[in-house]
């Protein structure tokens, strides 16, 4: 019913997921002081980002910079520029249209041995004389280490950059990767064709490149194997192909991030595999995404299976590939270009069976594909998984989930809930320093992801997709029921009405410039803690949050005694305005610390924190879709119309389930519908933001006003808003 908007939101998830403070938006290219350009054809896909300080830019953070990024090998080039003589802030750079009126055009130089040198070229204009201060050639991760971290540069990588000038007046920088094979090349050459005068040229003195004011053709190439792009029409399923014309911006963005090997998490910093991101995107985009052999859906599931830890079944969170993989291996004294994986997340495992069930059990095309797909030999991307099939790896993951879920089924204690890994402060989507307030036991994983994963393992076993595990057909469902029914209570928080009123009043006095909304609190306030066992000896991290959306979206629980109040409380919190609830003029915020009595909550869950009182677009999508699914369960007793696409796709197989009790409870049903409508009104009102991953606000002139997260100060002790 709202799938178009969901695609819109997901243009979001794709295009700028994880782009955070420095958002990179394929739909509207300018996010000043950043300008983004994308180029993709059958030979090369690359992005260019040009940064030029604005009059009000903080010059210690923003300087003139050109980045070129390739999904292939997660590689890139980054160059910083400074004025030759003038003060910081006087040098401006921009990409101008070259003769064909496009800022970027492709470069393709065939090679007799190995992959061609491919990349992009464009014309860069300097308004005054400039010098190149720092060049980084190689991996995007090396560039991130420099721009996000404490300005780390590795001599082994920096010293390998070779500078040269040639007879035609050009200057080149070239670096051979640690694999001894791949080369990154960046060339500048005076652009004589432009209408503006070119004063001088580019010169090289030892390792210093200097430019006179004027226009320069730059060309950036690598000779690393490119990925296989999925064209816009190949990313969408047949029924949704019209979106390629009606929403061409969003589908182009999605296509730039879609390859038959994997879907990428976001430009430019995350132009590579991220497990959770691609699985959530696929679950939300399911109605429009392509399926079948060579489809986007299979690319995602295959990429996840390929990267599973064969020993313990953990899903890979982020991959390390290209030059950074060789570098990382070298740090371990291993000479190898093999990719690596980060397995620190505790949530990603559970999305996999859910996604596999949606496709291989419920989609008729997926059912037909299952045997062949799971027989795929692993190891072509991740050599650690050689000699296994994707089916073997899927089974290893399911075994892990059954193993981890078992103890709680036997004894429902807090100790038996899923914890973050001992040496980690992150483990699920709120993966920043203060994302969970130091909590060790996350709400989303325990109350929604584990039971949803178990339900799907049951369905997959019954469908014969987990060979030799027929017994899980009933066992996994039995486990799931225990997790569904017995986890919410651990996180439950109830605040009596009068206390809740006084909490929002005192919160507003110190931390919020708008109305305290205490009059909106006409009941006790109930919500579920975002995690257990937080910092400062807090047994529950009492931050109201949006993670109810995981249960709404992933589970059809049948325990009415629990479901009715759960949906009711969730709806009330969505409807109420911050600080009484989660709603604001700029959308639903993901965390509200106003009900936490301890002052640390308000100090750390701020408008400047990555997972603070800020709005995340995919959370809006999942909450809206989740409420829609729950309301859809009432269709027998109300005239709520179920989505016709999902009926066609065979998702109605659960229609025989009894109608939940909340459907006939007028006040609860009306409340949930009202929350759903309020949420959609707010999503529509904030359409301009939807292609960002996250945004924040300031309260000014009587309303919440959108502000990029990056311009607000981060909470104490956190370097950047991503908190990583
Ligand atoms: C000028 O820019 C350089 C980086 O190019 C930076 O290190 C320096 O702090 C800036 N100076 C001022 C005064 O902002
Ligand atoms: C480049 O060309 C496009 C399309 O023709 C035009 O919209 C844009 O204004 C031009 N940009 C510059 C900097 O000239
Ligand atoms: C690259 O060559 C150097 C020098 O010969 C060698 O030490 C290194 O192991 C090689 N690296 C790889 C990944 O083969
Ligand atoms: C320079 O401009 C002329 C005329 O606009 C065009 O024919 C020629 O191809 C251009 N040269 C380059 C290198 O783009
Ligand atoms: C060139 O620069 C390097 C480091 O930047 C320096 O060590 C070397 O002495 C310089 N060479 C000359 C000839 O100036
Ligand atoms: C895979 O899991 C095993 C068992 O937990 C662990 O020892 C190993 O380090 C993991 N592999 C990687 C690459 O992290
Ligand atoms: C790698 O080798 C160096 C030199 O032999 C040694 O100091 C270092 O501890 C080794 N690192 C690892 C991770 O084994
Ligand atoms: C699975 O793939 C192998 C080759 O990788 C093939 O020999 C075998 O017949 C396939 N099995 C099925 C059931 O398709
Ligand atoms: C795969 O099997 C081959 C041959 O049996 C063996 O040499 C190789 O070590 C195995 N690779 C892995 C990753 O187990
Ligand atoms: C469950 O765990 C608790 C705490 O560890 C323990 O006291 C209790 O005996 C256990 N119950 C069962 C049935 O194992
Ligand atoms: C919150 O911030 C304070 C400093 O203001 C810090 O000491 C504390 O550990 C933080 N607590 C949490 C729960 O993040
Ligand atoms: C829940 O039930 C609805 C139909 O009422 C169905 O569309 C949806 O797929 C079901 N979800 C799960 C996780 O079973």
Residues 494 and 475 in one domain: no
Which ligand is in closest contact with the Cα of 723? 11
Do residues 74 and 139 make contact, with C-beta atoms less than 8 angstroms apart?
A: yes
Residues with CB under 6 A from ligand 9: 386-387
Say yes or no to pLDDT of 249 above 80.
no
Per-residue pLDDT tens digits for 254-295: 888 899 999 998 878 889 999 999 999 999 999 999 999 999
**pLDDT value at position 5?**
41
The three-state secondary structure class of 147 is helix
Ligand 11 centroid to 456 CA: how many Å?
38
Residues 171 and 189 in one domain: yes
Residues 525 and 479 in one domain: no
Say yes or no to pLDDT of 4 above 60.
no
User: Please, what's the b/e burial string for 232-255 (b: 16 or more CB within 10 A of its CB; e: otherwise)?
Assistant: bebbbbeebbebbeebebbbbbbb
Mutate to test the pocket of ligand 4, among 102, 193, 195, 217 (most ligand atoms within 8 A of CB): 193
CB of residue 151 inside a 6 A radius of ligand 1: no
Measure the CA–CA gap between 324 and 142, rounded to whole angstroms.
Answer: 7
- Which residue has its alpha carbon closest to ligand 6 atom 12? 309
Ligand 12 centroid to 113 CA: how many Å?
53
**Among the three residues 483, 505, 530, which one is the final residue of a domain in this structure?**
483
Sign of the alpha-carbon torsion through 345, 348, 349, 350: positive
Q: Would 613 be classed as within a structural domain?
A: yes
Residues 469 and 563 in one domain: no
Mean pLDDT comparison of 7-11, 101-105, 696-700, highest-scoring range = 696-700
The model's confidence at residue 708, banded by pLDDT at 50, 70 and 90, is confident
Say yes or no to pLDDT of 655 above 70.
no
Ligand 4 closest atom vs CA 98: 14
Q: What is the mean pLDDT of residues 409-426?
A: 97
- Which residue has its alpha carbon closest to ligand 8 atom 7? 375
Strands 105-109, 93-96: pairing is unpaired
Residues 362 and 460 in one domain: yes
Q: What is the mean pLDDT of residues 352-358?
A: 98
Which ligand is in closest contact with the Cα of 411? 10
Do residues 293 and 300 make contact, with C-beta atoms less than 8 angstroms apart?
A: no
Residues 570 and 673 in one domain: yes
Which ligand is in closest contact with the Cα of 377? 8
Do residues 264 and 321 make contact, with C-beta atoms less than 8 angstroms apart?
A: no
Q: Would 38 be classed as within a structural domain?
A: no
CB of residue 90 inside a 6 A radius of ligand 1: no
Residues 455 and 516 in one domain: no
Q: Would 716 be classed as within a structural domain?
A: no
Q: Would 253 be classed as within a structural domain?
A: no
Mutate to test the pocket of ligand 7, among 156, 327, 333, 335 (most ligand atoms within 8 A of CB): 333
Tell me which residue range forms the domain holding 468. 290-483
Q: Which of 237-241, 314-318, 516-520 has the least mean pLDDT?
A: 237-241
Residues 477 and 493 in one domain: no
Share of residues in the chain with pLDDT > 90 (%)? 76
Per-residue pLDDT tens digits for 528-540: 999 999 988 899 9
- Which residue has its alpha carbon closest to ligand 3 atom 12? 179
Question: What one-character DSSP code corresponds to residue 446?
Answer: I
Residue 301: phi, psi to the nearest 5?
-65, -40
User: Which residues are bridge partners to 377 per DSSP?
Assistant: 389
Ligand 11 closest atom vs CA 598: 13
Per-residue pLDDT tens digits for 174-194: 999 999 999 999 999 998 865
Domain count, the chain: 3
**pLDDT value at position 636?**
58
Say yes or no to pLDDT of 610 above 50.
yes
**364 burial via Cβ count (<10 Å: 0-12, 13-18, 19+):** exposed
- Which residue has its alpha carbon closest to ligand 12 atom 2? 654
Q: Determine the number of helices (DSSP H) and then strands (DSSP E) in the chain.
A: 23, 29
Q: Please state the pTM of the whole predicted model.
A: 0.91
CB of residue 99 inside a 6 A radius of ligand 4: yes
Do residues 230 and 241 make contact, with C-beta atoms less than 8 angstroms apart?
A: no
Q: What is the mean pLDDT of residues 4-20?
A: 39
- Which residue has its alpha carbon closest to ligand 1 atom 5? 82
Q: Would 160 be classed as within a structural domain?
A: yes
Mutate to test the pocket of ligand 3, among 160, 180, 333, 339 (most ligand atoms within 8 A of CB): 180
Say yes or no to pLDDT of 17 above 50.
no
**Alpha-carbon dihedral of residues 687, 692, 693, 697, nearest 10 degrees?**
-80
**Among the three residues 483, 507, 539, which one is the final residue of a domain in this structure?**
483
- Which residue has its alpha carbon closest to ligand 1 atom 2? 88
Residues 522 and 447 in one domain: no
- Which residue has its alpha carbon closest to ligand 9 atom 2? 387
Mutate to test the pocket of ligand 3, among 335, 336, 339 (most ligand atoms within 8 A of CB): 335
**636 burial via Cβ count (<10 Å: 0-12, 13-18, 19+):** exposed
CA R_g for the chain: 26
- The more confidently predicted of residues 241 and 652 is 241
Measure the CA–CA gap between 29 and 686, rounded to whole angstroms.
Answer: 18
CB of residue 60 inside a 6 A radius of ligand 1: yes
- Which residue has its alpha carbon closest to ligand 3 atom 13? 179
**pLDDT value at position 716?**
73
Per-residue pLDDT tens digits for 539-568: 999 999 999 999 999 999 999 999 999 999
**pLDDT value at position 100?**
65
Residues 313 and 394 in one domain: yes
Do residues 121 and 217 make contact, with C-beta atoms less than 8 angstroms apart?
A: yes
Measure the CA–CA gap between 268 and 257, rounded to whole angstroms.
Answer: 10
Residue 128: phi, psi to the nearest 5?
-150, 175
Q: Would 717 be classed as within a structural domain?
A: no
| Other beta carbons less than 10 A from residue 310's beta carbon | 17
Q: Would 722 be classed as within a structural domain?
A: no
Mean pLDDT of the residues in the chain: 89
Q: Which of 85-89, 384-388, 644-648, 701-705 has the least mean pLDDT?
A: 644-648
Please report the DSSP string for 221-265 in residue order: EE-SPPP-BPPHHHHB-GGGTTHHHHTHHHHHHHHHTBBSS-B--
Mutate to test the pocket of ligand 4, among 98, 99, 190, 196 (most ligand atoms within 8 A of CB): 99
CB of residue 109 inside a 6 A radius of ligand 8: no
Measure the CA–CA gap between 422 and 511, rounded to whole angstroms.
Answer: 33
Say yes or no to pLDDT of 689 above 50.
yes
Measure the CA–CA gap between 175 and 302, rounded to whole angstroms.
Answer: 33
Say yes or no to pLDDT of 22 above 70.
no
**pLDDT value at position 194?**
59
**pLDDT value at position 310?**
98
Say yes or no to pLDDT of 666 above 80.
yes
Residues 519 and 477 in one domain: no
Ligand 8 centroid to 80 CA: how many Å?
52
Q: Would 621 be classed as within a structural domain?
A: yes
**pLDDT value at position 29?**
55
**What is the enclosing helix (H) or strand (E) of 4?**
helix 3-16
The three-state secondary structure class of 27 is coil
Ligand 5 centroid to 183 CA: how many Å?
23
Residues 405 and 296 in one domain: yes
Residues in the chain, total: 724
Q: Cα dist. 300→22, 216, 248, 269, 282 in Å?
A: 26, 40, 22, 19, 8
**pLDDT value at position 650?**
36
Measure the CA–CA gap between 543 and 595, rounded to whole angstroms.
Answer: 7
Mutate to test the pocket of ligand 6, among 307, 312, 315, 332 (most ligand atoms within 8 A of CB): 312
- Which residue has its alpha carbon closest to ligand 5 atom 12? 206
**Among the three residues 448, 483, 518, which one is the final residue of a domain in this structure?**
483
Do residues 679 and 672 make contact, with C-beta atoms less than 8 angstroms apart?
A: no
Say yes or no to pLDDT of 89 above 70.
yes
Ligand 11 centroid to 700 CA: how many Å?
27
Q: What is the mean pLDDT of residues 128-151?
A: 92
Ligand 11 centroid to 95 CA: how many Å?
44
- The more confidently predicted of residues 150 and 663 is 663
- Which residue has its alpha carbon closest to ligand 9 atom 12? 386
């Amino acid at each position: 019913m709202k799938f178009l908007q969901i695609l819109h939101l997901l243009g979001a998830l794709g295009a700028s997921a994880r782009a955070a403070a420095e958002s990179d938006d394929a739909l509207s290219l300018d996010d000043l002081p950043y300008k983004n350009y994308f180029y993709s054809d059958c030979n090369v896909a690359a992005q260019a980002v040009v940064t030029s300080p604005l009059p009000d830019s903080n010059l210690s953070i923003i300087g003139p910079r050109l980045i070129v990024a390739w999904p292939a090998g997660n590689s890139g080039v980054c160059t910083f520029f400074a004025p030759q003589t003038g003060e910081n802030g006087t040098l401006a750079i921009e990409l101008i249209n070259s003769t064909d009126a496009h800022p970027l055009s492709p470069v393709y130089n065939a090679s007799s041995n190995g992959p061609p040198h491919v990349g992009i070229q464009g014309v860069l204009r300097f308004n005054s004389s400039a010098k190149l201060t720092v060049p980084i050639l190689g991996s995007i991760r090396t560039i991130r280490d420099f721009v996000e971290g404490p300005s780390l540069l590795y001599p082994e990588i920096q010293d390998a950059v070779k500078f040269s000038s040639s007879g035609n007046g050009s200057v080149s920088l070239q670096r051979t990767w640690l694999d001894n094979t791949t080369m990154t090349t960046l060339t500048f050459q005076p652009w004589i064709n432009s209408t503006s005068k070119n004063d001088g040229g580019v010169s090289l003195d030892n390792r210093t490149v200097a430019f006179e004011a004027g226009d320069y053709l730059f060309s950036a190439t690598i000779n690393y194997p490119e990925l296989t792009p999925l064209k816009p029409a190949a990313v969408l399923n047949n029924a949704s192909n019209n979106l390629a014309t009606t929403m061409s911006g969003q589908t182009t963005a999605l296509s730039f991030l879609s390859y038959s090997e994997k879907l990428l998490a976001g430009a430019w910093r995350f132009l590579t595999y991220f497990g959770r991101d691609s699985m959530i995107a696929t679950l939300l985009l399911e109605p429009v995404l392509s399926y079948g052999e060579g489809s986007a859906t299979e690319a995602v599931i295959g990429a996840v299976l390929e990267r599973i830890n064969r020993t313990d079944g953990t899903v890979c969170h982020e991959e390390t590939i290209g030059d950074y993989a060789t570098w990382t291996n070298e740090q371990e004294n291993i000479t190898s270009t093999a990719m690596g994986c980060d397995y620190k997340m505790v949530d990603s495992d559970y999305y996999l069976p859910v996604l596999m069930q949606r496709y291989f059990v419920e989609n008729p095309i997926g059912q037909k594909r299952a045997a062949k797909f799971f027989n795929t030999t692993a190891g072509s991307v991740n050599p650690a998984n050689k000699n296994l099939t994707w089916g073997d790896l899927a089974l290893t993951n399911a075994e892990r989930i059954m193993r981890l879920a078992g103890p709680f089924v036997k004894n429902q204690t807090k100790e038996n809930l899923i914890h973050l890994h001992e040496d980690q402060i992150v483990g699920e989507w709120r993966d920043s320093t203060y994302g969970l307030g130091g909590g060790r036991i996350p709400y989303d994983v325990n109350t929604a992801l584990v039971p949803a994963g178990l339900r799907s393992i049951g369905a997959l076993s019954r469908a014969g997709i987990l060979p030799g595990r027929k017994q899980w057909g009933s066992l996994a469902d039995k486990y799931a029921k225990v997790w569904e029914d017995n986890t919410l209570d651990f996180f439950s928080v109830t605040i009596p009405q009068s206390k809740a009123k006084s909490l929002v009043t005192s919160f507003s006095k110190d931390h919020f410039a708008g109305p305290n909304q205490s009059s909106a609190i006409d009941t006790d306030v109930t919500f579920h803690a975002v995690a257990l066992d937080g910092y400062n000896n807090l047994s529950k991290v009492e931050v109201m949050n949006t993670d109810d959306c995981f249960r709404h979206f992933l589970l059809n629980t049948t325990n009415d005694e629990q479901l009715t109040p759960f949906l009711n409380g969730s709806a009330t919190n969505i409807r109420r305005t911050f600080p009484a609830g989660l709603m604001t003029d700029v959308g639903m915020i993901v965390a509200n610390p106003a009900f936490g009595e301890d002052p640390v909550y308000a100090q750390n869950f701020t408008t400047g924190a990555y997972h603070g009182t800020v709005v995340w677009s995919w959370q809006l999508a999942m909450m809206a879709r989740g409420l829609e699914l729950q309301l859809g369960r009432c269709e027998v007793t109300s005239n709520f119309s179920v989505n016709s696409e999902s009926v066609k796709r065979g998702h109605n197989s659960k229609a025989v389930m009894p109608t939940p009790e909340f459907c006939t409870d007028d006040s609860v049903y009306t409340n949930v519908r009202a929350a759903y409508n309020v949420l959609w009104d707010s999503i529509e009102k904030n359409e301009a933001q939807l292609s960002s991953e996250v945004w924040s606000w300031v309260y000014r002139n009587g309303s919440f006003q959108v502000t990029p997260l990056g311009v607000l100060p981060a909470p104490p002790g956190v370097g950047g808003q991503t908190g990583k």
